[in-house]
Structure 1
Amino acid sequence: MTATSQPPAALRWWTLTVVSVGTFMLMLDLSIVAIALPGIHESLDADFNDMQWVFDAYALTLAAFLVTAGAVADRSGRKKTFTVGLVVFTLASLACGLAGNIGMLNISRGVQGIGAAVMFAVGPALLGHEFHGKERAKAFGAFGAAVGIAVATGPLIGGALTSGPGWRWIFLINVPVGGVACLLAMRRLRESRSGTANPPDVLGMVTFTVSLAALVLAIIRGNTDGWFSATNIALYVVSAVSLCAFAALTRARGERAMFDVTVFRSPTFIGLCVVTFLANVAGLPPIFLETNYLQSVLGSSPWEAGLQFLPLSLGMFFFGAAAGGMAGRVPFRVVMAASQVLLGGALLLTLFSDPENSWTALVPSLLVTGAAFGLFNPTRAALAIGVAEPARAGVASGINETFQQVGTALGIAVAGSIFENRVAQAFLHSGSAGLLGPHAGETATAISAGSIDTAARAAGPGLFDRIVDDGRAAFTTGFHDAMVLCAVVALVAAVIAAFSLRAKDLHATALDGIPPDLAAEPQNPGTPEAAHQ
């Protein structure tokens, strides 16, 4: 059904509750694992490559299945699809918590990512179907706050659970929460789907998913295998061939294709996807690097590092709520551009951090980063469904979320590579390297991985203090250089947002009830657009 009448208020807010809870869980599992890795390593006897896949398996399937999930939801029903995704995510979380070895954990993480992709793609479309006018702005403000707080509180929650009942509970906590959310989804959500549904485009889904999975896998492995290794070149070829096959199938099937590619005719949609991609290239790596900096350089415990991220959480909470109130008062392009200017400035503020300073030197950066995320997340989610007609909202949202997750994967891979290289180079040019002789490279690698004290102890008597000092200085150098790179990317995203996002490209029913001052420039009262509004 495609009913556009306003549903009962209780159902609307139950929809927001279920979608926000599901989104909170899936976003939490992007950041919560970082704190728990030492416990997982010790418990499951995993090597470094295995540990990488605890992150990568989730990111890979999350990115690869987003658009497919949106296409299935538009045709098969958004409530049904979202509920299936929630069930898959909850059961996979249980499997993660019970995993007896690292292989089972990583397989379960991959399945968990599929469930997360379904929820992430379909959630905004469910909200867009239920909420209209000013209430839609409030709903997306709450949705954005759930996304931002999950990312920000991941280290805190991870530290609490890891230090308490153990690392398995970072996954097992999803089981009771997900179970309740599943019951609410089945009882309280309304069904909606495209009124022109066609049979699923299975070949289109397969070719698109294979293309994206191969590309994301190449991005993830580029840092360790080499960006132009034989394996990566093969993955690039698979991705390109599958994408060409998908394009040919889309042209041949026309209206029966997986999704309507005409959405890319909108300059605003293209601009939004590019801005989303760059914002996540710039915004997610700092969270992981700052967590490592707090623990490896400043000596914070997992619990302390989580507490030290509270300024970021507060910034997200307050500015996420403020973003909803800005709809109708501040043009979308201004909010999006401002969020990226704030992010770029926040990352440059990390340059004031120093091994000799306390963690409070990072507080200004954390607060402003939280403000940037708070403004960006709900505005992006609202625009993602606003550029498409309601019947195609799931696909449009899925495409945009795909750009978000690919940006996250690329950002972590590239920023991580630059960080590791700069740390190693800085240490190899320090006085300690000359004293270590042929073992300097091995020590530099350990320092870039965060094992500064361990590397210093392994160097032998009399060198501990000097290697610790040089190691912390080298780690800080790499951290600062990576932050400068991310800041530049954020400022580029701000420029693109300022010049590419146009309110006149939004679908006529996407933001009904919002005043015309959303436009990037004031309208002439005599124009047809103004007369229509």
Structure 2
Amino acid sequence: MTASAIPPTAGEKAAGLLAVCLAAAAMPLTFTGPAVALTEIGRTLGGSPIALNWVTNAFMLTFGSALMAAGALADHHGRKRVFLIGTGAFALVSLGLVFAPNILWFDLLRAGQGLAAAAAFAGGMAALAQEFDGHARTRAFSIVGTSFGVGLSLGPIASAVMIDAFGWRSIFWLVLALVLPSFLLATRVLRESRDPAAKGLDWAGAISFTAALSLFTYGVLLAPQRGWGDVRVIALLIGAVVLFAVFGLVEKRVARPMLDLTLFRYPRFVGVQLLAAAPAYAFVVLLILLPIRFTGIEGMSVIAAGQLMIALSAPLLVLPILAGLLTRFLSPAIICGIGLLISAAGLFWLSGFPVGTAHGLIIAPMIMIGTGISLPWGLMDGLAVSVVPKERAGMATGIFSTTRVAGEGVALALVSAILSALTAAHLPAGSAKTAQRLATGDLAGAKTSLPGVPPALLVQSYSAGFETLLLLLTGITVLTAIVVFLFLGRGAQAAKAALPECSVSVGD
């Protein structure tokens, strides 16, 4: 690692952490804000339903697919430099979105915003990994996790207030209000560092991986609309498999791979990647599914649904910091595993409340789900960099973040498709399209498509499908917790024994 010869002061470290936290808080606003404003965006810019879907999907696709390449670039060209390029581009693209003339330009700028977010996130997290060590690093990453949680929790409410007062374009001014101070602060206090052994970006690996993940994500996102047997969906998924195979061959042959495949020999590394995907199906999908259920199926107002969702997201405002403090007494693996079990218990509890249940009764299980996922939320990034040599922190952050962000996009598409299939199982044969309408909260459209079926049966079918889905998510979350206990709960001596081997494999 190369960095300034003068050690940073405590104040400089805190200021650098604040710069990364401001950027981290802005990123979820770019996901939740446009989702809240989607109807208004469509009215202003026009566009087909598919074009409007890309308002969200374009950002998630480029963000998730570019993170690993951004981490490799940060290791080679400098973590501070990549962070500044990312935050600067993030600000410029957000400004462009304010003035987007049509839906095509808007979607293209959203894709660019995802690329900028990848650079900012990978560079910032890798830079922090060089400034903090041990428990201090764990606490720093827990604070970043809390900042991300603040943006995720308050994003819908803050965006709704801005939209109501100033119009939907104002949500991007809110993003600028966070990103610009982050850029200016990092320019002054963040130290430059890089991996001296890095030899540049593995372009063949980066292109093949990004293309493979893009095709896979696009195929999964397209499947609920066209069906898994659609020729285009099949072609996209086959193309993804081929490109992933190409990526594997490339990484085995290059001297300095972007992803050292030998890392997957280590249970701790595999466990961290599974942990990265856990919030997607234990928490993030509920941020989308529950508002659809509340407003589309149960008829709640948007404001009332937003207030109820606070029960799910509010724990993220505080508990990630508490989890960081608990690492003085318990290992991060134990805390993460316990958190996942708490979330699983909340999911199981919530499955017992069918559609139409008094909303006051479901607040407690929602709080339990949010509480459980908040415990690993601020610790996962620290674990990601702890299982590889410090010099490859950018790579570790990129891999971990890729798994997490790409997992969220894939999980949303898969869970929607599963909910549709589970709902269709309780409807008359040939009701797949009706089930898809119910899964998206279009109860009126479902009634029109099946005029002979009582509306109560439609709601009951959706409710039964939603219950089964929650039970499925419960089981997956429990299994992930078990893997975390087994793979990450190894002693420090075992972890140290693995790292020298890992150092040789990724460093030469």
What is the TM-score with the length of structure 2 in the denominator?
0.89
Match for residue 340 of structure 1? 340
Matches within 5 A, 1:277-316: 277-316=277-316
1: CA distance, partners of 2:233 / 2:209: 18
**Is 1:49 aligned with 2:50?**
yes
5+ unaligned residues in a row in structure 1: which ranges?
430-437, 511-533
The Cα shift of 1:64 comes to: 0.6
Please identify runs of 4+ aligned residues in structure 1 that moved more than 4 A. 2-6, 440-445, 453-460, 505-510
Percent identical: 26
Aligned length: 496
- What do you get for the CA RMSD once the two structures are aligned? 2.8
2: CA distance, partners of 1:306 / 1:509: 46
2: CA distance, partners of 1:206 / 1:336: 33
Matches within 5 A, 1:440-451: 445-451=436-442
**Is 1:119 aligned with 2:120?**
yes
2: CA distance, partners of 1:261 / 1:357: 48
Partner of 1:309, secondary structure, is: helix
**1:290-345 Cα distance to aligned partner (Å, 9 max, x none):** 11122123333333322222222332223212111111311222112112111111
1: CA distance, partners of 2:130 / 2:279: 26
One-letter code aligned to 1:193: R
One-letter code aligned to 2:277: F
Change beyond 3 A, Cα 1:301–1:171: farther
Match for residue 66 of structure 1? 67
The Cα shift of 1:4 comes to: 9.0
2: CA distance, partners of 1:507 / 1:69: 27
Change beyond 3 A, Cα 1:412–1:139: same
8 Å contact 1:26–1:116 — kept in the other structure?
yes
The Cα shift of 1:197 comes to: 2.6
Change beyond 3 A, Cα 1:375–1:220: same
The Cα shift of 1:6 comes to: 5.0
The Cα shift of 1:11 comes to: 1.2
Change beyond 3 A, Cα 1:509–1:260: closer
One-letter code aligned to 2:42: H
Change beyond 3 A, Cα 1:387–1:350: same
5+ unaligned residues in a row in structure 2: which ranges?
500-508
Change beyond 3 A, Cα 1:19–1:455: same
8 Å contact 1:355–1:472 — kept in the other structure?
yes
**1:475-507 Cα distance to aligned partner (Å, 9 max, x none):** 333332322222121111111111111243546
Matches within 5 A, 1:174-193: 174-193=175-194
Match for residue 362 of structure 2? 362
**Is 1:494 aligned with 2:481?**
yes
The Cα shift of 1:362 comes to: 2.2
1: CA distance, partners of 2:14 / 2:479: 37
2: CA distance, partners of 1:2 / 1:509: 26
1: CA distance, partners of 2:352 / 2:154: 23
The Cα shift of 1:65 comes to: 0.3
Change beyond 3 A, Cα 1:46–1:189: same
Change beyond 3 A, Cα 1:30–1:508: farther
2: CA distance, partners of 1:458 / 1:265: 51
Change beyond 3 A, Cα 1:452–1:78: same
2: CA distance, partners of 1:206 / 1:174: 29
What is the TM-score with the length of structure 1 in the denominator?
0.85
**Is 1:159 aligned with 2:134?**
no
1: CA distance, partners of 2:421 / 2:309: 26
Match for residue 23 of structure 1? 24
2: CA distance, partners of 1:352 / 1:6: 55
Change beyond 3 A, Cα 1:414–1:223: same
Structure number with bigger Rg: 1
Partner of 2:185, secondary structure, is: helix
